[in-house]
């Protein structure tokens, strides 16, 4: 199939538990892709195929699948809603042309839907809105429409209205065609009949229809003039205007239903075909200069005639080897082709190409502009790399990922596990750019870093189950630092006599606290040659070498200035080594005298809470030694900004959820280092000494 106007690349995104995966499942059933409907409640859905997803009932990684509706090909990506996995949503939106934002009929616009909506705005992705779960207690379609206006600042274009509410929800009215779609009690999606609009809804439908037409005709001046003069445009003309306005993000067609009860999903599929853009209708991806990342002014035009330009947006490891998910923007990719990875400058040969259906796959021989496919066994490709024709090198706009904020130390339970662990972690880092790993040089421990506690929890679970590596997991660790608070003047002499030439070096020096963020500074004001010039670098090297290991608890030292002002040397016994040793001894001798102090990392914390829990949340942040910086009231709750020490934030999500009956959310990032209170410093130092003793 080569007619690009019949392609729709769409993503389904929303807050945790709004029903994205269930909606995807219903779409697959309606399009004939699956025959038995799976369910997140019992872990049998198609797109949540990881064990961890089935158990927890949440989506962790985005899954891709392809299906057909009304002769159109839909490439669908189901994305996670959890705050720790927003990187999955971000990278999926980057390669899609349209999206369906799912909102819960009772929960409305929740914090994570705001984040995802913001990502979609940044990526300029056209969207439909589907208000789901209208069969639930407390569901209110009109309330959610208001929230979309007030919280997201978006314009919802209401296309369907619900018939009945909560348990009595039976179907929807299509506002444009003035038809009522009513489903029977069998629960099958195809068992509906088209009826007249219920008598008590006629006025509402007319009011919404008038609003719909007024909003739509703003997209076409001629139609608008005719409409002002009392001439109603044809359904085709209205649809054309809706399509244009949706593509330009002027408004978002809004539908309602219950995916779980199979009501209203067909109309959303029709809308995807009618209103969301095909690959040729969205703005072409800009090409950038690989040196500085600035746009070159050229774009990757979506056409099979152009040279190949594609973006690797996700890497997934499964039982058949590494899968690289690729969105082709222009040109054609065939099995056996040699392509260039512009990020590494290396070429790769395309082996097996597959079309994905969650974790099933169909082999294909070629793919073209507009397709989303996976390639098996690519060696050096990472997320965000551009793949192109070797004769036409280019770089597509790269992806930017957030820095991790939390780390844990892990070690394999048995000796043989360390090589296995290394290979597995290597694969996982390639799959998820927001997950990082490093080795602690002192202890030899492996440190995993991620976006939050749930993120790391799931990584450890994957290591255990998917790769069979059992780990001993340490407590989450805080990166403390040390500094000094007083200026002192001191002297140190190093002399050693052991037959033949000895070692001698005497230094007089001043140590004082430096400016915040200045690191280590060394100056020498020696006059008269008491310490010859050639030994100054050795003194500096001696002091600097000790900065990685503070005297309190062995943490790196920040912001210290050392001035060498006098000393003494011996014509035979003095050497660079003697002066370096003297400087090291001087550091150990003088640091405790200069008022050594422990510093702790302070995090910038952003908490969202419903209004009735604000007092509890602020009280709890104060108990965690937090400084409240700002409070902002929104439509659905209050955002509180505070600076809190990282050491007090472990396990915070659990406490917050308990306090706010599961509705609170937070995010945090590193802000600065600040002095530790004496009681905290004593506890940290005691803990470090205990750890050292146990290692011996």
The enclosing H or E element of 681 equals helix 678-695
Q: What is the rounded CA–CA span in Å between residue 283 and residue 306? A: 16
Of 529, 564, 594, which residue constitutes the final position of a domain? 594
In a domain, 632, yes or no: yes
In this structure, is the dihedral angle defined by the CA atoms of residues 38, 40, 43 and 47, taken in order, positive or negative? positive
106 and 48 in a common domain: yes
22 and 160 in a common domain: yes
367 and 255 in a common domain: no
Alpha-carbon separation of residue 162 from 202, 256, 515, 636 (angstroms): 12, 7, 64, 23
Consult the annotation and say whether 81 binds a ligand. yes
- Any idea what the CATH number is for the domain that residue 323 is in? 2.40.30.10
Confidence grade of residue 582 (pLDDT, cut at 50, 70, 90): very high
Is the pLDDT at 512 greater than 60? The verdict is yes
Of 477, 507, 526, which residue constitutes the final position of a domain? 477
Is the pLDDT at 89 greater than 60? The verdict is yes
- Torsion-angle region of residue 652: left (phi > 0), alpha (psi -120 to 50) or beta? alpha
Show the tokens assigned to 696: 């011996």
Strand, helix or coil for residue 594: helix
Give the count of beta carbons closer than 10 Å to the beta carbon of residue 142: 13
Is the pLDDT at 73 greater than 90? The verdict is no
Q: What is the mean pLDDT of residues 525-531?
A: 85
Are 83 and 112 spatial neighbours (Cβ–Cβ below 8 Å)? yes
Show the tokens assigned to 523: 């100056």
Nearest CA among 280, 278, 276, 270 for reference residue 243: 276
Q: What is the mean pLDDT of residues 25-30?
A: 69
Is the pLDDT at 552 greater than 70? The verdict is yes
- Any idea what the CATH number is for the domain that residue 111 is in? 3.40.50.300
The enclosing H or E element of 179 equals strand 179-183
Confidence grade of residue 456 (pLDDT, cut at 50, 70, 90): confident
Are 46 and 138 spatial neighbours (Cβ–Cβ below 8 Å)? no
In a domain, 240, yes or no: no
386 and 302 in a common domain: yes
Confidence grade of residue 540 (pLDDT, cut at 50, 70, 90): very high
The pLDDT of residue 17 is: 58
Is the pLDDT at 123 greater than 70? The verdict is yes
325 and 269 in a common domain: no
CA 422 to chain centre: 24
553 and 458 in a common domain: no
Consult the annotation and say whether 79 binds a ligand. yes
In a domain, 113, yes or no: yes
Consult the annotation and say whether 21 binds a ligand. yes
Is the pLDDT at 691 greater than 80? The verdict is no
Consult the annotation and say whether 533 binds a ligand. no
656 and 619 in a common domain: yes
Show the tokens assigned to 531: 């310490």
Is the pLDDT at 30 greater than 80? The verdict is no
Consult the annotation and say whether 308 binds a ligand. no
Consult the annotation and say whether 133 binds a ligand. yes
Show the tokens assigned to 148: 């979309």
Give the count of beta carbons closer than 10 Å to the beta carbon of residue 474: 15
Consult the annotation and say whether 681 binds a ligand. no
Consult the annotation and say whether 132 binds a ligand. yes
- Any idea what the CATH number is for the domain that residue 454 is in? 3.30.70.870
The pLDDT of residue 660 is: 84
Of 363, 396, 429, which residue constitutes the final position of a domain? 396
122 and 86 in a common domain: yes
375 and 328 in a common domain: yes
The beta-strand segments (E) located in 119-159 are: 126-132, 156-158
The pLDDT of residue 19 is: 63
Consult the annotation and say whether 80 binds a ligand. yes
The pLDDT of residue 21 is: 63
Q: Using one digit for the tens of pLDDT, what is the confidence trace for 351-369?
A: 888 876 645 667 888 888 8
Consult the annotation and say whether 38 binds a ligand. no
- Any idea what the CATH number is for the domain that residue 655 is in? 3.30.70.240
Model pTM? 0.63
Which of the two residues, 458 and 405, has the higher pLDDT score? 458
In a domain, 126, yes or no: yes
In a domain, 410, yes or no: yes
The pLDDT of residue 666 is: 77
Alpha-carbon separation of residue 448 from 409, 415, 601 (angstroms): 6, 19, 18
Consult the annotation and say whether 14 binds a ligand. yes
Contacts of 581 (CB under 8 A, 6+ apart): 494, 503, 505, 542
In a domain, 193, yes or no: no
Consult the annotation and say whether 662 binds a ligand. no
Consult the annotation and say whether 357 binds a ligand. no
Q: What is the mean pLDDT of residues 417-435?
A: 78
Angle of helix 576-590 relative to helix 536-546, nearest 10 degrees, comes to: 40
Show the tokens assigned to 127: 């969207």
Q: Using one digit for the tens of pLDDT, what is the confidence trace for 146-200?
A: 888 887 888 899 999 988 877 788 888 888 888 888 887 776 767 788 888 888 8
In a domain, 219, yes or no: no
Q: In whole numbers, what is the pLDDT of the chain averaged over residues?
A: 80
- Number of domains, the chain: 5
Which of the two residues, 245 and 390, has the higher pLDDT score? 245
Q: Using one digit for the tens of pLDDT, what is the confidence trace for 256-301?
A: 888 778 888 888 888 988 898 888 777 777 777 766 666 677 777 7
Strand, helix or coil for residue 443: coil
440 and 303 in a common domain: no
Q: What is the rounded CA–CA span in Å between residue 527 and residue 532? A: 9
Question: Could you list the residue range(s) of the whole structural domain that residue 27 is in?
Answer: 4-166+251-281
Are 62 and 280 spatial neighbours (Cβ–Cβ below 8 Å)? no
Show the tokens assigned to 100: 């369906």
Angle of CA points 106, 111, 116, to nearest 5°? 105
Percent of the chain with pLDDT strictly greater than 90: 13
Backbone angles phi, psi at 20, to 5 degrees: -65, -50
The beta-strand segments (E) located in 433-486 are: 436-439, 446-450, 471-477, 481-484
The pLDDT of residue 522 is: 92
Confidence grade of residue 115 (pLDDT, cut at 50, 70, 90): low
Confidence grade of residue 80 (pLDDT, cut at 50, 70, 90): low
Query: What length is written for the chain?
Result: 696
In a domain, 264, yes or no: yes
Consult the annotation and say whether 455 binds a ligand. no
In this structure, is the dihedral angle defined by the CA atoms of residues 569, 574, 575 and 578, taken in order, positive or negative? negative
613 and 567 in a common domain: no
Consult the annotation and say whether 203 binds a ligand. no
Consult the annotation and say whether 613 binds a ligand. no
In this structure, is the dihedral angle defined by the CA atoms of residues 209, 211, 217 and 223, taken in order, positive or negative? positive
645 and 583 in a common domain: no
Q: What is the rounded CA–CA span in Å between residue 576 and residue 80? A: 60
Burial of residue 271, with CB atoms counted within 10 A of its CB: 0-12 exposed, 13-18 middle, 19 or more buried: buried
- Any idea what the CATH number is for the domain that residue 530 is in? 3.30.230.10
Which of the two residues, 190 and 521, has the higher pLDDT score? 521
The pLDDT of residue 33 is: 52
Q: What is the rounded CA–CA span in Å between residue 483 and residue 178? A: 73
Q: What is the rounded CA–CA span in Å between residue 70 and residue 269? A: 9
Consult the annotation and say whether 677 binds a ligand. no
Q: Using one digit for the tens of pLDDT, what is the confidence trace for 35-49?
A: 444 444 444 444 444
Angle of CA points 144, 655, 650, to nearest 5°? 120
């Amino acid at each position: 199939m080569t007619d690009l106007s019949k392609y729709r690349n769409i993503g389904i995104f929303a807050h945790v538990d709004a029903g994205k995966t269930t909606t995807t499942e219903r779409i697959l059933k309606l399009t004939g892709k699956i025959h038995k409907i799976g369910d997140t409640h019992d872990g049998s859905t198609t797109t949540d195929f990881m064990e961890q997803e089935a158990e927890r009932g949440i989506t962790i990684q985005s899954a891709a699948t392809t299906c057909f509706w009304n002769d159109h090909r839909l490439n669908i990506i189901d994305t996670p809603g959890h705050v720790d996995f927003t990187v999955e949503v971000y990278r999926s939106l980057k390669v899609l042309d349209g999206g369906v934002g799912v909102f819960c009929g009772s929960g409305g616009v929740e914090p994570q839907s705001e984040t995802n909506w913001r990502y979609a705005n940044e990526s300029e992705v056209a969207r439909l809105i589907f208000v789901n779960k209208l069969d639930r207690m407390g569901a209110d379609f009109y309330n959610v429409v208001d929230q979309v206006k007030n919280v997201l600042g978006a314009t919802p274009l209401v296309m369907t209205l619900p018939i009945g509410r909560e348990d009595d929800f039976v179907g929807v009215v299509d506002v444009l065609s003035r038809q009522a779609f009513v489903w029977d009690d069998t629960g099958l999606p195809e068992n509906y009949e088209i009826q007249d609009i219920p008598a008590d809804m006629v006025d509402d439908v007319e009011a919404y229809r008038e609003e719909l037409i007024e909003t739509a005709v703003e997209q076409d001046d001629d139609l608008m003039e005719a409409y002002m003069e009392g001439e109603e445009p044809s359904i085709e003309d209205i649809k054309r205007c809706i399509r244009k306005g949706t593509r330009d993000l002027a408004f978002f067609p809004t539908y309602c239903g219950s995916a779980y009860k199979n009501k209203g999903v067909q109309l959303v599929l029709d809308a995807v075909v009618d209103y969301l853009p095909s690959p040729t209708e969205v703005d072409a991806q800009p090409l950038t200069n690989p040196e500085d990342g600035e746009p070159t002014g050229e774009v990757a035009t979506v056409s099979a005639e152009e040279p190949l330009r594609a973006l690797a947006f996700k890497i997934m490891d499964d039982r058949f080897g590494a899968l690289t998910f690729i969105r082709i923007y222009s040109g054609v990719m065939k099995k056996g082709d040699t392509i260039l990875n512009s990020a590494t400058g290396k070429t790769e040969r395309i082996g097996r190409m597959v079309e994905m259906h969650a974790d099933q796959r169909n082999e294909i021989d070629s793919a073209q502009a507009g397709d989303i496919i996976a390639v098996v066994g690519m060696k050096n490709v990472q997320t965000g790399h551009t793949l192109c024709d070797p004769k036409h090198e280019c770089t597509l706009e790269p992806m930017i990922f957030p820095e991790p904020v939390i780390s844990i130390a892990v070690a394999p339970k048995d000796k043989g596990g360390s090589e296995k662990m290394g290979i597995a972690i290597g694969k996982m880092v390639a799959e998820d750019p927001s997950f990082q790993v490093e080795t602690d040089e002192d202890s030899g421990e492996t440190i995993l870093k991620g976006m939050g506690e749930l993120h790391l929890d799931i990584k450890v679970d994957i290591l255990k189950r998917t790769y069979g590596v059992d780990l001993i997991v340490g407590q989450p660790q805080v990166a403390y630092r040390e500094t000094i608070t007083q200026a002192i003047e001191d002297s140190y002499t190093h002399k050693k006599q052991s037959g033949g030439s000895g070692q001698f070096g005497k230094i007089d020096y001043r140590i004082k606290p430096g400016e915040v963020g200045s690191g280590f500074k060394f100056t020498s004001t020696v006059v008269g040659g008491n310490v010859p010039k050639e030994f100054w670098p050795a003194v500096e090297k001696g002091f600097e070498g000790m900065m990685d290991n503070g005297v309190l608890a062995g943490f790196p030292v920040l912001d210290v200035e050392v001035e060498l002002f006098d000393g003494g040397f011996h014509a035979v016994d003095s050497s660079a080594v003697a002066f370096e040793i003297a400087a090291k001894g001087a550091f150990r001798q003088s640091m405790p005298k200069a008022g050594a102090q422990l510093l702790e990392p302070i995090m910038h914390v952003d908490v969202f809470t419903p209004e009735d829990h604000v007092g509890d949340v602020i009280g709890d942040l104060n108990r965690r030694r937090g400084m409240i910086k700002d409070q902002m009231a929104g439509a659905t709750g209050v955002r509180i900004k505070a600076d809190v020490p990282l050491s007090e934030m472990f396990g915070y999500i659990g406490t917050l959820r308990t306090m706010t009956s599961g509705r609170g959310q937070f995010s945090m990032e590193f802000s600065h280092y600040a002095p530790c209170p004496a009681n905290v410093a004593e506890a940290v130092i005691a803990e470090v000494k205990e750890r050292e003793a146990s290692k011996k």
